[in-house]
Amino acid sequence: MQNNNYTAIIEVAKSPEYVFNCITDVSKWWSKDFEGSSAELNDEFVINHPDKHYSKQKLVEVIPNKKIVWLVTDSKLSWLEKDKQEWTNTKMIFEISTRGDKTVLHFTHEGLVTQKECYVNCERGWNMVIKDWLFNFITIGKSI
Q: What is the pLDDT along the chain (144 residues), one digit of tens a residue?
A: 456 999 999 999 999 999 999 999 999 999 999 999 999 999 999 999 988 999 999 999 999 999 999 999 999 999 999 999 999 999 999 999 999 999 999 999 999 999 999 999 999 999 999 999 999 999 999 988
Can you give the residue ranges of every domain in the chain? 5-140
What is the pTM for the complete model shown?
A: 0.95
Angle at 74 between CA 72 and CA 23, to 5 degrees: 35
Fold of 5-140: Alpha-D-Glucose-1,6-Bisphosphate; Chain A, domain 4 (3.30.530)
Q: Are 57 and 38 in contact (CB under 8 A)?
A: yes
